[in-house]
C-alpha cells in the first residue's frame, strides 16, 4: 500500500505557526511520525507540501496509478477550492481530509469545506495525531 500525504499552504511552518492552534510539532517531525506509523502497518508514504493551489491539483492528479490512498490537509484552500474537490473526484483515489484545529469551532468561513464532498472521511481537531488517524482509516478501508 502506498499513501500520498498532501499538505497545503503554511503547513510547512508547523511548529512555528500559531502554536496555540496547531501545536509545536514541526512539519518534518510530523512527516517522520506519519511514515513510521504507516510503516508499522506495512504501508509506504510519500509526502508533498505546497503553498500553491495548482501544484496541489497536480499532486492529486500525479497520484493516479501511483498511490492507493490520499491524506490531505488543504489548509486555507479547504474553504475556497473547488479545483481540489474536482481533482479528488477525478482521480477517485480514497481520500481523507485532515484538519489539525477544530475548524467547526473557529470563524464561520472555516466551517465550509469544498473538498469534504469528495472525501471518504474527515478527521478534525485532533491535533497532528489526526494524520495518524487518517492513515489508519485509509488502511483499514483499503485492507477490508
Ligand atoms: C487547517 C485549518 C484551516 O482553516 C487553516 O487555513 C489551515 C490549517 C487545520 O489544519 O486546522 O491552514 O487546515
Instruction: Give, in order, the Cα–Cα distances in Å from 139 to each of 16, 69, 80, 136.
Output: 30, 8, 28, 5
User: What band does 74 get if pLDDT is binned at 50, 70 and 90?
Assistant: very high
Position 28 scores a pLDDT of: 98
How far is the CA of 137 from the CAs of 30, 81, 84, 104, 114, in angstroms? 18, 24, 21, 21, 20
Supply the range of the domain harboring residue 113. Answer: 2-143
Contact 24, 15 (CB under 8 A): yes
The pLDDT, as a whole number, for residue 131 is 98
Mean pLDDT (the chain, rounded): 98
Rounded CA-CA distance 24/111 in Å is 24
Other beta carbons less than 10 A from residue 49's beta carbon: 20
Residue 69 CB–ligand 1 contact under 6 Å = no
Q: How confident is the model at residue 81 (pLDDT cuts 50, 70, 90)?
A: very high
Q: Ligand 1 pocket test: pick from 12, 16, 80, 101 the residue with the most ligand atoms within 8 Å of its Cβ.
A: 101
The CATH number that applies at residue 64 is 3.40.50.9100
Instruction: Note the pLDDT tens digit of each residue in 17-28.
Output: 999 999 999 999
- As a 3-state breakdown, the chain gives helix, strand, coil percent values, each rounded to 5, of 50, 20, 30
pTM over 0.85: yes
At residue 78, the pLDDT reads: 98
**CA 80/CA 15 separation, integer angstroms:** 24
Q: Is any atom of ligand 1 closer than 6 Å to the C-beta of 76? A: yes
Chain position carrying cell 481523507: 96
Report which ligand 1 atom has the smallest distance to the Cα of 10: 12
Q: C-alpha grid cell for residue 92?
A: 477517485
Domains: count for the chain: 1
* pLDDT one-digit tens code per residue, 10-69: 999 999 999 999 999 999 999 999 999 999 999 999 999 999 999 999 999 999 999 999
Amino acid at each position: 500500500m502506498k499513501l500520498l500525504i498532501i499538505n497545503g499552504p503554511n503547513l510547512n511552518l508547523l511548529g512555528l505557526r500559531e502554536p496555540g492552534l496547531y501545536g509545536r510539532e514541526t512539519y518534518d517531525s510530523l512527516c517522520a511520525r506519519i511514515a513510521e506509523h504507516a510503516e508499522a502497518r506495512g504501508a509506504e508514504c510519500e509526502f508533498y507540501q505546497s503553498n500553491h493551489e495548482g501544484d496541489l491539483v497536480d499532486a492529486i492528479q500525479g497520484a493516479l496509478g501511483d498511490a492507493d490512498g490520499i491524506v490531505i490537509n488543504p489548509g486555507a484552500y479547504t474553504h475556497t477550492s473547488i479545483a481540489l474537490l474536482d481533482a479528488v473526484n477525478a482521480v477517485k483515489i480514497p481520500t481523507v481530509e485532515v484538519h489539525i484545529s477544530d475548524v467547526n469551532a473557529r470563524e464561520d468561513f472555516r466551517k465550509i469545506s469544498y473538498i469534504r464532498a469528495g472525501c471518504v472521511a474527515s478527521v478534525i481537531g485532533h491535533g497532528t495525531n489526526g494524520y495518524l488517524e487518517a492513515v489508519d482509516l485509509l488502511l483499514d478501508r483499503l485492507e477490508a
